[in-house]
Amino acid sequence: MKFLVEKLSKCAPRLGILKELHGQPNTTLQTPLVMLHTQGGQVPHITHEVMKLVSKNLHILQIPLVSVYNFKEAMDYFDGAISEFIGDGESICCLTLQDPSNLTQQGFHSKGKVPIWTKNGKVYYDSRTYMDTVQSFKPDMYHLLSDGDTNLSSPQKRLTKAVDNTISFHKECLEIHRNSKNLKNCLVIAPVAGGYSIPHRKNCLDNILLDDQEVGGYLIDGLHNNGPEVEFIPFVEIQPIVEFIIKNVPPSKLRAIQGCWNPLIIIKLVKLGVDVFDTSYCRVLTERSAAMTFPIDITEDITPYEINLRQLRYIDDFQPILNGCQCPACLKYSRGYIHHLLSVQELLGPILIMIHNIHHFLRFFEKIRDCVAKDTLDELESRMEIHFQRYQQEILLPQKEPVVNDNIY
């Protein structure tokens, strides 16, 4: 797999393509793009068959190791890659360490090892055990092992250890990668650690850039500990770090970031030159029964930024989630019906919301690529900022819901 960028630039929006995809030699993927976040190899709430109804295009599946670590033994005996094992052999798979939609527990560090918190408890990975798993899974692209357990409040001692560990993991993992036949055609993405400290980020970059020829891209890691809180991280906090990293990594390489970033932050990150995101934001919204309804095109009706279909106001609402939306959920079901499904805890409720959110998010990224090509990304950002600010004001105000009288006479 190779990444080609249309125009080499530092902190500016850009278009690129991923080509020479495994099993898809005549297909390319355009960037900026969003990977489909999965848990256990499946998009949350959606099967592979349903996902093909949402979008027939080729996508990259983001597979967090924390959700598939127990596949290792079976993969050792399976004659194929992880994409075939999970039943979606046509997709491109990217193996990552943590799940960006779930809060990662802090602490419990061990020298030369990184903990992941699975359903069965804590599991430690060092460079050898991690790369052994990567070789068994045979992904199309993967992140090198890193210590990303940092955030805005991390002390200097933690930042230093995170950088030292990441540099050590980087060198050890690449040494194993060089000698692996299974990973010969994999795209390697190197994480850049260091929290919110420019000196620590510089130290990390100075060391990992020595192996730039063997790396296909860079991950901006260590800005947060994943989970829903990422949605509301102010852009002014992350901007200096993102700008510093992008200015100092080769412009010909892929730039990736993980997390449940809201659409406004995504636009701002694209303007800085970030190429790859994920759909963990869709899962976070779905878990709180919220559906994206912000307008993408200027011709669309003005609608709320998002709606929460558990609210009683939708009990007799027979409109689709979003008028004009062509997703399977909006074409066949109403807000009122989905509200009923959520009220009785029927599994179909989250499924329909997730279908809509994924469809809307993919449309949003199509619009971003179109705006970058036409140099109109500033206009999209201005419209999105208005909607997001209005949404933030609404969630700070007390919500007035109809009173339901449950008294029995």
pLDDT band at 348 (very low <50, low <70, confident <90, very high): very high
Query: What is the secondary structure of 97-139 as a DSSP string?
Result: SS-TTSPPPP---BTTBEEEEETTEEEEE-HHHHHHHHHHH--
Judged on CB neighbours under 10 Å (0-12, 13-18, 19+), 107 is exposed
Place of tokens 């700008």: 243
Burial of 181 per CB tally in 10 Å (0-12, 13-18, 19+): exposed
CA distances from 300 to 234, 264, 295, 401 (A): 28, 18, 6, 28
Mean pLDDT of the chain: 91
Percent of the chain with pLDDT over 90: 79
Structural domain boundaries in the chain: 2-286, 291-395
Residue 270 pLDDT > 80, yes or no? yes
Beta 60-64 vs 217-220: how paired, if at all? unpaired
- The answer to whether 356 is annotated as binding is yes
**Residue 340 annotated as part of some ligand binding site:** no
Q: How far apart are CA 324 and CA 331, in angstroms?
A: 9
Class level of CATH domain 2-286: alpha beta
What proportion of the chain, given as a percentage, has pLDDT over 70?
Answer: 96
Count Cβ neighbours within 10 Å for each residue of 361-371 and write b for 16 or more, e otherwise: bbbbbebbbeb
pLDDT of residue 336: 96
**Alpha-carbon distance values, 403 to 205, 254, 345, 357, 409 (Å):** 57, 52, 21, 29, 17
Report the alpha-carbon distance of residue 166 to residue 109 in Å, rounded: 13
Spatial contact of 68 and 55, defined as CB atoms under 8 Å apart: no
Question: Closest Cα partner for 356 from 299, 409, 283, 300?
Answer: 283
Instruction: Check residue 288 and report its DSSP letter.
Output: T
pLDDT of 403 above 70: no
Evaluate if residue 398 carries a pLDDT over 70: no
Instruction: Note the pLDDT tens digit of each residue in 22-32.
Output: 767 778 899 99
The DSSP 8-state label assigned to residue 156 in this structure reads H
* Each residue's pLDDT tens digit, 182-225: 898 899 999 999 999 999 999 999 999 999 999 999 999 999 99
| pTM over cut 0.85 | yes
Close Cβ partners of 379 (under 8 Å, ≥ 6 residues apart): 298, 371
Per the listing, tokens 């969003």 go with 34
Q: What integer pLDDT is reported at residue 409 of this predicted model?
A: 29
Q: Is 173 annotated as a binding residue?
A: no
Residue 94 assigned ligand-binding role: no
